Structure 1
Amino acid sequence: MTVAKHLKLRIRQRMARTGERYSVARAHVVGTPDPGPVVDAGWTLRGGTDPDAAALAGVLAHQGVTGPAGPLDEALLLVIGGLGAGYILWEFDRDGSRIVVLGFGHSWQYFDRRLVATVDRLGLDATWTRTGGTVRAATALASTLAAGTPAIVWPDRYRLGVRHLPDVLDGHGGHPVVAYAVTGDRVHVDDRTLAPLTVPVADLDRARARVGSYKNAMLVVRARDTTVPDDRLRAAVRAGLTATVEQLGGSSTSFALPAWRKWSTLLVDRRAAKGWPTVFADRRGLLGALAGVWEAIEPAGMAGGHLRGVFADGLEQAAALLDEPAIEAQARRWRESADRWHDLAETALPADVPAIARIRELTAAITAAVAEGDAAAADRTAAAGELWALRAAHADTPPLTPDEVDGILHAMSTRLAGIVDAESAAVRDLGRVLTRSE
């Protein structure tokens, strides 16, 4: 095995163990200064955690749109867009699948609202399109890229093909990515990658057209070489923080902190129709649900995870922009919340069970191979094949005893209740800080 393969293995093992994103795990394993980002077809690959904020940060940097003090990074853009909360357990009769959906960004249930709000708050010149026909949408994207302008698009993950998902997930949607160049019949896509990643143009076109609720959506920032005024940036930051307080502090049992309070109860409720002891009484789909919880929470998953650590980084910047040290003090609260979410993910998918440990390793390997771009295409294919075969093998019989399952669900319930208490207190305190500083 080559040195490069040994390094990849160590990075992916650390991701599986810690839940970290590829770039973070790599920095810990390599232990040397970052050599700097890769530039591909004039586009700089910076990686990232949050699909929405990272995509916009990359586009703004490419377009030369900055704040008064420099680039607008992912963390600050996440603050401007806002945090959210959400939980849904879907049960599909057509195939008997049971899928857990967790939301961590503001208005996560709507594909575009967070980016719409972020762009509007910053006062950016941007164009949103929703072309009905696949051919017209493909032509619009091709002409945009030919002009040297990147575009944020929303492909269906299954149809895009990068992660080699099973067909049961066809049409389940996906997160935003940046299309930034075309070479021959392949389009260059940035999905928080650190090396060039390309997919067939035809695959991207089909993936963009798959999901009706955001069919062929595209966001193009037209602004170039401009600075967001200081007063505008400060107002955007304050608006984002206010939106976070209002969203998380709301009463919705689906899209605010009470959603997680409800989930905490449902994890152990044996009488409720949506209680986990009821839904998973036959144990079918339980391992998939627990694996889905781990992947949704941890940054090593597909969609960036809980986002609480990135938000904390953004709070530190927000404190300086608003000249409000009390906001910086709130960052510690959200880092503690990030740790609590990691503990919950560890509880849901315990690594001391060999089959479960392997599921974590393979999930992290796919995320790492996406970050590594085209050079890791074979790694993605192999890891995905083994992952879904392993999950299928345990779909009806999870490698856990009934007593172990009860212990996991009760521990998850306790940890989740603690998260809700901690975030509720943090939201109240942040709201008080914002009120005092008006």
Structure 2
Amino acid sequence: MNYTQLGGIHPETATMTNVLANQGFVSPHNGRPLSEAMVLGIAGGLGCGYILWEFKKYEAAILVMGFQNKWNYTTQFMQNFCDRVGVKAEFLETGGAKTAAKHLDDALADGRFPIAWVDQEKLPYFYLRPMYSGCFGHFVTVFGQEDGRYLLDDRSQKPLTVDGQTLSDARKRIGSYKNRLLLLEANGSAFDLPAAIMAGLEDCVDYLSQSSQTFALPTYKKWARMMTHTKNKKGWPVVFKEKVGLYSTLRSLHEGIKLFGTADGGLRGVYADFLDEASAILNQPSLSEAAEQYRGVATLWRNFADAALPDEIAPLKETKALLAKKYDTFLKHGTEADTELRQLSQQLQDMEVELNGRFPITDNAMHALFAEMQGHLEQIYIAEKEALATLAGAIS
């Protein structure tokens, strides 16, 4: 098969970046494939999102965070990128498993590399607890078949394989995008790169500048307030009064900011790389000033993620180390390191089950932790606003 795995960071952009690179799609300014940072920027760049999900039946809670533009409308995010670079995007959906399998197999037979919407929990190499079935949408590229199994590109340097039934189950689990595929087709002609970059920059500024407390920068101001709010039912002192589910929440916060698809800082560092590329292409030095600010924001996000799992609490320090090792092993070796990945995942699952019910912290220490985290969020909010102002000024 004529497909090269290139790794990647963020599922939505890594899939598009790698498929187009394998189709020979190149940038008109240097004749090379677009970087993942450039794909992110052209598609609209950054976003904000914060949802606290409680699973009281399982004594668990998790944070879901969105860091990309239109993170809750991924088809629009991907379509915007394709429109701006002249790539045809074909979305296929069906309620039937047989038709879904035919869509996939026909695309592979045509030498195409379909991007599939899947449920993380159904993919065996993630080793998620069954309680998370249907919770986490994900994106993989299917690039071939071997010995009756499908080959997946999921940001790892190594191919991942799943059997047909497993892939079918993963594709159909989440009803809002049941069996969806995206087929990309480059038309072979050059596109207006500066115009595509400007469209992405304007989209990002407009999106982050809105007043929404769910999808724009005020999200972080609201989140900071919830960290110590004792009256609101979503305030952390209220939600975690008995500390039930606190462990999984703090872990998902750390994981979602530093490890899973965010490049160690809520995608802010990746976006800074885009701004540096854009600065050179557009001959606009002030974009590099914004890039430096966003790198500073990425550092603040990393600090926040580490503060959520303080080293002073031994099980949280151990969790941080196990998570880092698991992700590094997966990205470097894929399922070739299946035994080690399974062992690491089992350790983390055992800790989650044990510590969600009895978190090793006093009430005073918990409230102090929440106050510290609030301080981090307040810093992040101010820095995000300053970086956005610089970005807006650079393109005005």
TM over 0.5: yes
Specify the alignment match of 1:57 in structure 2. Answer: 17
1:319-368 alpha-carbon deviations (Å, 9 max, x no partner): 12222111122110000000000000011111332211222222233323
How far 1:93 moved relative to its partner? 5.1
Match of 2:164 in 1: 201
What letter corresponds to residue 122 of structure 2 in structure 1? R
**C-alpha distance in 1 between matches for 2:262 and 2:121:** 14
Distance 1:201 1:61 in 2: 26
Contact kept in structure 1, 2:137 and 2:174, CA below 8 Å: no
Q: Which amino acid aligns with 2:163?
A: P
Q: 2:213–2:219: 8 Å Cα contact kept in structure 1?
A: yes
In 1, Cα distance between equivalents of 2:81 and 2:261: 22
Contact preservation (8 Å) 2:257, 2:302: yes
Q: Distance in 2 between matches of 1:174 and 1:430?
A: 30
Conservation of the 8 A alpha-carbon contact between 1:67 and 1:227: no
State the alpha-carbon separation in 2 of the partners of residues 301 and 222 from structure 1.
Answer: 28
**Unaligned runs of at least 5 residues, structure 1:** 1-40
User: Which of these residues, 138, 142, 154, is aligned with residue 117 of structure 2?
Assistant: 154
* 2:376 paired residue among 400, 409, 415: 415
- With the length of structure 2 as denominator, give the TM-score of the two structures: 0.95
Question: Which residue in the other structure is 1:342 paired with?
Answer: 302
SS at match of 1:150: coil
Q: 1:122 to 1:328 in 2, by over 3 A?
A: same
Q: What amino acid maps onto 1:347 in structure 2?
A: A
Task: After TM superposition, give the deviation of residue 95 of structure 1 in Å.
Answer: 4.1
Of 293, 313, 317, the residue aligned with 1:333 is 293
Whole-Å separation in 2 of the counterparts to 1:246 and 1:331: 18
Root-mean-square deviation over aligned CA pairs: 1.5
Q: Counterpart of 1:380?
A: 341
**Residues 1:188 and 2:188 aligned together:** no
- 1:391 is aligned, of 347, 352, 367, to 352
Matching residue within 76, 80, 100 for 2:42: 80
Q: Give the aligned residue type for 2:346.
A: G
* Counterpart amino acid of residue 365 in structure 2: E
Distance 1:222 1:302 in 2: 25
Q: Is the 2:48–2:216 Cα contact (8 Å) retained in structure 1?
A: yes
Work out whether residues 59 and 357 of structure 2, in 8 Å CA contact, stay in contact via their aligned partners in 1: no
Q: In the alignment, is residue 301 of structure 1 matched against residue 225 of structure 2?
A: no
**Percent of aligned pairs with the same residue?**
35
Matches of 1:357 and 1:228 in 2, distance apart? 50
**Partner of residue 285, structure 1:** 245
Query: Aligned with 2:51: secondary structure?
Result: strand
Query: Is the counterpart of residue 275 in structure 1 residue 235 in structure 2?
Result: yes
Moved more, 378-387 or 55-64: 378-387
Distance 2:115 2:22 in 1: 13
Provide the rounded CA distance (Å) in 2 between the counterparts of 1:83 and 1:165: 27
Supply the distance in 2 between the matched residues of 1:126 and 1:97 (Cα, whole angstroms): 38
Q: Structure 1 residue 227: deviation in Å?
A: 4.6
Name the aligned partner's letter for residue 157 of structure 1: Q
Match of 1:363 among 323, 328, 331: 323
Paired residue secondary structure (2:391): helix
Alignment of 1:245-264 (within 5 A): 245-264=205-224
Instruction: Determine helix, strand or coil for the equivalent of 1:154.
Output: strand
Q: Distance in 2 between matches of 1:143 and 1:173?
A: 27
**Which of residues 350, 369, 386 is equivalent to 1:425?**
386
Q: Distance in 1 between matches of 2:117 and 2:134?
A: 12
Tell me the secondary structure at the aligned position of residue 132 of structure 1: coil
Check conservation: 1:125, 1:223, Cα contact below 8 A: yes
The alpha-carbon distance between structure 1 residues 365 and 202, as it changes in their structure 2 partners (threshold 3 A), is farther
Letter in 1 for 2:374: S
> Do the aligned residues in 2 keep the contact of 1:51 with 1:303 (CA within 8 Å)?
no
Letter in 2 for 1:263: W
Change (3 A) 1:306 1:244: same
Amino acid at match of 1:425: E
- In the alignment, structure 1 residue 106 sits paired with structure 2 residue 65: no
Q: Taking structure 1 as reference, are residues 302 and 322 closer, same or farther at Cα in structure 2, changes over 3 Å only?
A: closer
CA contact (8 A) 1:66 1:227 kept: no
| CA deviation map 1:5-25 (0-9, x unaligned) | xxxxxxxxxxxxxxxxxxxxx
Kindly state the Cα deviation for residue 96 of structure 1 after the two structures are TM-superposed.
4.9
What is the match of residue 53 of structure 2? Answer: 90
Whether the aligned pair in 1 keeps the contact of 2:86 and 2:186 (CA below 8 Å) is no
Q: Secondary structure at the match of 2:77?
A: helix
Match of 2:230, SS state, is coil
Q: What amino acid is the match of 1:414?
A: G
Paired residue secondary structure (1:66): coil
Matching residue's letter, 1:118: F
CA shift in 2, pair 1:393/1:211, >3 Å? same
Whole-Å separation in 1 of the counterparts to 2:356 and 2:61: 11
1:161-215 Cα distance to aligned partner (Å, 9 max, x none): 2111001101113221111111122111111111122111221111000001111
Contact 1:312–1:334 (CA<8 Å) still a contact in 2?
yes
CA drift of 1:146 comes to: 2.2
Q: Where does structure 2 lack aligned partners over 5 or more consecutive residues?
A: none
**Aligned equivalents of 1:358 and 1:116: distance in 2?**
41
**CA gap 1:302/1:94 in 2 versus in 1, 3 angstroms:** farther
Displacement of 1:301 after TM fit? 2.8
| Partner AA of 2:95 in structure 1 | G
* Aligned 8 A contact 2:48 2:208 in 1: yes
Correspondence for 1:213 among 176, 179, 195: 176
How far, CA to CA, are the matches of 1:344 and 1:216 in structure 2?
36
